[in-house]
Amino acid sequence: MKAIVRTLIILTVMISGCSKPPAEDYIKKAEEAEKGGLWSVALESYQNLVKDHPGSVLAEKALFNIAAIQHNSLQNFQEAVDGYKRYLEQYPDGPKAPTALFLAGFLYNNELKNLDSARVYYQQFLTKYPGHEMAMSAQFELQNLGKSADELLPKPEPVAETAPPKSASKSAKPAKKN
């Protein structure tokens, strides 16, 4: 009997020692790391959340945030695109799906210069979300694939040079006192 009780205690300790922290703990740690600019810590926390709690509502947020950190903070654009695509594969109807789809196209176009992939993602975006607030931006990007900002911005009008006006106080002589 003592052997059974001892075995149960050992198993209980082993199981409790191997349990994963709750998803909320990962999110809290990641968000604190982001506030401090500790991107690798934030990424690790988000990645562990996705790995340890794949069915959690917070895993969806973590997956998107992984791509956003790669994009905005680290400027690892291919990693960011891969992250947005992973989000879209796992949460095709998620609340961030339109943004992930648009940003994949945007990064392909503006950073990775892969116009064929950019076209595919923008077209998918417009097909799936024609009334979305970013639809006009997607249409503009699609119409201007591969063009530089210099090609899109209007050229400034040349300014005619004119001589500065003469100041009245310099040309007038001071009045004499009598």
The model carries a pTM of 0.76
What is the chain's pLDDT, residue by residue, as a tens digit (178 residues)?
Answer: 666 545 545 544 444 445 889 999 999 999 999 999 999 999 999 999 999 999 999 999 999 999 999 999 999 999 999 999 999 999 999 999 999 999 999 999 999 999 999 999 999 999 999 999 999 999 999 999 988 878 888 777 777 676 666 665 555 555 555 5
Contact (Cβ atoms closer than 8 angstroms) between residue 35 and residue 44: no
DSSP assignment of the chain equals -HHHHHHHHHHHHHHHHHPPPPHHHHHHHHHHHHHTT-HHHHHHHHHHHHHH-TTSHHHHHHHHHHHHIIIIIS--HHHHHHHHHHHHHH-TTSTTHHHHHHHHHHHHHHTS--HHHHHHHHHHHHHH-TTSTTHHHHHHHHHTTT--HHHHSPPPPPPPP-PPPPPHHHHSPPPPP-
Contact (Cβ atoms closer than 8 angstroms) between residue 59 and residue 23: yes
What is the token pair recorded at 141?
Answer: 């990007």
